Amino acid sequence: MNKPLLTIGISLALSAPVAAQAGPKEDFNDVYSKAQSTHEDAGTFQWTVTSDRLKAAKSAAENGDFDKARSMAQEALNLAKESVAQRQQQQEVWRNVAIGN
Amino acid sequence: MRKGLISVCLTTLALSATAPVFAEPTQADIDRGKELAFSRKDGNCLACHQMDDGKLAGNIGPELADMETRYPDREILFKRIWDETQFNPTTVMPPFGRHMILGKQEINRIVDYLYTL
Amino acid sequence: MLKAKIILVALGAALAVPQALAGSTPEEDRKETVEYFKQMFPEVPFEDFVNGQYALNEDRRSQWESMQDFPPYEFAVAEGQEMFETPFANGKTYASCFENGGIGIRQNYPYFDTEKNEVITLELAINRCREANGEEPLRWKKGAIASISAYMASTSQGNPINIKVPDDPDAMTAYQDGKEFYYSRRGQLNFSCASCHVQNPGKWIRADFLSPTVGQPANFPVHRSKWGELGTLHRRFAGCNNNVRAEPLPAQSEEYRNLEYFLTYMSNGLPVVGPATRP
């Protein structure tokens, strides 16, 4: 994180009453869009569990429960990252068990 | 006196190596471990392993028995459930921890249960 | 190292070629694959591989044989024949779209169309035939398309599967993509098709008995007890992907067609036995 951002972050955190209203929703949006784009990066290696968490996050957000929405989006992001890692790894190692070269 | 020393040593060892994470499991821990191991949406160990009183078990992997003898080091057993591909790259066993199929605590409960087999 | 390679080393097959330089032909792949399964199941007659789990398990086989007097897909095949023979609104029939009027041709699908540069599966050809004749396409995984495909397979029973990879870089790419798909691990559970059907055929995964790669597509479309109806090969692909918690791809997507191309090539020489039943 760069310094100006950090400063903004700290001052937002300090001005608690304002941040408490704007924070969770923006926080959710940020994590959710990261999760979505990482899920896209998995290409044909997407996981169903990631899609499930994204759906759960979205519906929690629609109900105004941004804490739950954020935690679901975070789970989706973590899962999506592993699916991207799997995609990259398999491009190398699929031949290890293949019959014929 | 000597006995006392040994027990002090053992306690120290136990404390330093395992105490923070692996306290002696309660029956509830073991029950929870069995539940996680048998449940299709969690461990689903029975898909591949015969174990205990599990019905309709698969036979892709070895039977889970004598676990304490086969895995005297708890940390190794934990790691193999966490990600068996680190030990055997062509295994078909899912990397339960790395792929977030199970959490750390859940794997620890399964290990508690496996050590009763 | 996989058993396949150990077995093949023992056989003296040429595995010394560095993998980066190697690029075996589809025919070399197929021969090695057949040899691998013959070694794994020396007592199974080669042609019996089309019967999947029934070739490997006595209990399953006798359950299956007891179903053969009244196979549950009979009605669907009759319905498929009727649809196949009923003219479209423009007066033409399916027969006009296929070689030999669509009779006895199942063994040639899928094929690589060097003009369109893509793999054409039987189901894709059925729907393209409809569209060419001004009809709406059918849904891909079950229902009418499975019945028509089942009828067409039934007219081809016993014909040896005859998939060709023409001397064309795009055809070769399609084959290779299908092969890579078959061997790539997917989903949260980290399984490839090969994890079960190359590494563990003949074993139980919970209450399901795993079939070998060779022979797999010969019995499609298939009536599964689990479905209670006929389904196409791509329905099965999607089901397998879903089981390992991988997001299934659309039926007749390029990936699944290429997968079918590779998989069916591996069964060359085996007879068409579709439609068939599976648990």
**Alpha-carbon distance C106 to C220, whole Å?**
10
Distance of CA C242 to the CA centre of its chain: 18
User: Where does the pLDDT of residue C95 fall: very low under 50, low under 70, confident under 90, or very high at 90 and above?
Assistant: very high
Q: What is the mean pLDDT of residues C148-156?
A: 98
Q: What is the pLDDT of residue C59?
A: 86
Mean pLDDT of C1-14: 43
* Cβ-based contacts under 8 A for chains B and C: 40
Contacts of B59 in chain C (CB under 8 A): 203-204
Mean pLDDT of C31-42: 96
pTM over 0.90: no
Q: Residue B63: its chain C contacts at CB < 8 A?
A: none
- DSSP letter for each residue of A52-80: HHHHHHHHHHHTT-HHHHHHHHHHHHHHH
For C172-196, the pLDDT digits (tens) are: 999 999 999 999 999 999 999 999 9
Q: Is residue B9 part of a domain?
A: no
Band of residue B3 on the pLDDT scale cut at 50, 70, 90:
very low
Question: pLDDT tens digits for chain A (101 residues)?
Answer: 455 555 544 444 444 444 445 588 889 999 999 999 999 999 999 999 999 999 999 999 999 999 999 999 999 999 999 999 999 999 999 999 999 87
User: At residue C3, does pLDDT exceed 80?
Assistant: no
Nearest partner of C105 among C163, C148, C153, C56, judged by Cα: C153
Specify if B4 maps to a domain: no
Judge whether B74 lies within some domain.
Answer: yes
Domain termination residue (choose one: C105, C121, C154): C154
Residues C47 and C98 in one domain: no
Residues in C 188-207 with any Cβ partner in B closer than 8 A: 188-191, 195-196, 199-200, 203-207
Beta strand C229-231 pairing with C222-224:
antiparallel
Please give the average per-residue pLDDT across C75-95, as a whole number: 97
If asked whether residues C53 and C96 sit together in one domain, one would say: no
Are the beta carbons of B59 and C190 separated by less than 8 Å?
Answer: no
Q: Is the Cβ pair C188, B44 closer than 8 Å?
A: no
Residue B14 has pLDDT above 90, yes or no: no
Residue of C191, C194, C231, C216 lying closest to C267 (CA atoms): C216
What does the pLDDT average to over C213-241? 96
Enclosing domain of residue B95: 24-114
Question: 3-class secondary structure for chain C?
Answer: CCHHHHHHHHHCCCCCCCCCCCCCCHHHHHHHHHHHHHHHCCCCCHHHHHHCHHHHCHHHHHHHHHHCCCCCCHHHHHHHHHHHHCCCCCCCCHHHHCHHHHCCCHHHCCEEECCCCEEECHHHHHHHHHHHCCCCCCCCCECHHHHHHHHHHHCCCCCECCCCCCCCHHHHHHHHHHHHHHHCCECCCCECHHHHHCCCCCCEECCEECCCCCCHHHHCCEEECCCCEEECHHHHHHHHHHHCCECCCCCCCHHHHHHHHHHHHCCCCCECCCCEEEC
Residues C80 and C197 in one domain: no
Q: Are residues C63 and C78 in the same domain?
A: no
Q: Are residues C79 and C61 in the same domain?
A: no
Identify the domain containing residue C225 by its residue range: 3-10+24-70+161-278
Six token digits for residue B40: 């299709």
Among C128, C154, C180, give the residue marking a domain's end.
Answer: C154
- ipTM of predicted complex: 0.87
Q: Is C223 contained in some domain?
A: yes
- At B15, the pLDDT band (50, 70, 90 cuts) reads very low
Domain of residue C199, CATH code:
1.10.760.10
Domain assignment present for C256: yes
Does C18 fall in a domain? Answer: no
Domain co-membership, C184 together with C50: yes
Would you state the pLDDT for residue C57?
86
Let me know whether C113 and C146 are in one domain: yes
Tell me the average pLDDT across B32-49. 96
Binary contact (C200, B60; C-beta < 8 A):
yes
Residue of B nearest to A97 (CA): B90
Cβ neighbours, 10 Å, residue B32: 19
**Within a domain: B12:** no
Distance of CA C253 to the CA centre of its chain: 15
Q: Do C221 and C237 have their domain in common?
A: yes
8-state DSSP, B82: H
Chains near B (3 or more Cβ pairs under 8 Å): A, C
In a domain? residue B83: yes
How many domains does the structure of chain B reveal? 1
CA distance C1 to chain B (A): 7
Interchain contact, A78 vs B100, CB within 8 Å: yes
What is the CATH number for B66?
A: 1.10.760.10
Dihedrals phi, psi of C187, to nearest 5 degrees: 80, 165
Q: Mean pLDDT lowest for which of A86-90, B18-22, B42-46, C181-185?
A: B18-22
The verdict on residue C228 lying in a domain is: yes
The reply to whether B106 falls in a domain is yes
Which candidate in A82, A89, A95, A99 is best for mutational testing of the B interface (most B CBs within 10 A)? A82
Annotated binding site of C for substrate: 236
Q: What is the pLDDT of residue C52?
A: 87
Show which residues of C are catalytic.
Answer: 240
Closest CA to C13 of C23, C21, C5: C5
* Tens-place pLDDT, residues C109-144: 999 999 999 999 999 999 999 999 999 999 999 999
CB contact under 8 A, B98 and A78: no
Residue B58 in domain: yes
Would residue C19 count as lying in a domain? Answer: no
**Is residue C16 included in any domain, yes or no?**
no
CA distance B96 to C149: 40
C24 neighbourhood in chain A, CB within 8 Å: 100-101
Query: What average pLDDT does the structure give for chain C?
Result: 91
Helix then strand then coil, % of chain B, to nearest 5:
50, 0, 50
Asked whether residue C29 is assigned to any structural domain, the reply reads: yes
Examine the pLDDT at B18 and tell me if it is beyond 80: no
Asked whether residue C15 is assigned to any structural domain, the reply reads: no
Query: Which of residues C154, C173, C203 is at a domain's end?
Result: C154
In chain A, what is the straight-line distance between the N-terminal and C-terminal CA atoms, in Å? 45
Q: Which residue has the tokens 């014909």?
A: C159
Distance from CA of B99 to the nearest CA of A (A): 7
Contact, A47 vs C246, CB < 8 A? Answer: yes
Our CA-based measurement puts residue A67 at a distance from the nearest CA of chain C, in whole angstroms, of 25
Indicate the residue of A78, A79, A97 with minimum beta-carbon distance to B90: A97
- Provide the number of structural domains found in chain C: 2
- The pLDDT score that the predictor gives to residue A16 is 45
CB-based contact C206 B99, cutoff 8 Å: no
- Contact between C174 and C144 under an 8 Å Cβ cutoff? The reply is no
Q: Shortest CB distance from B92 goes to which of C188, C200, C206?
A: C200
Query: C169 with C146, same domain?
Result: no
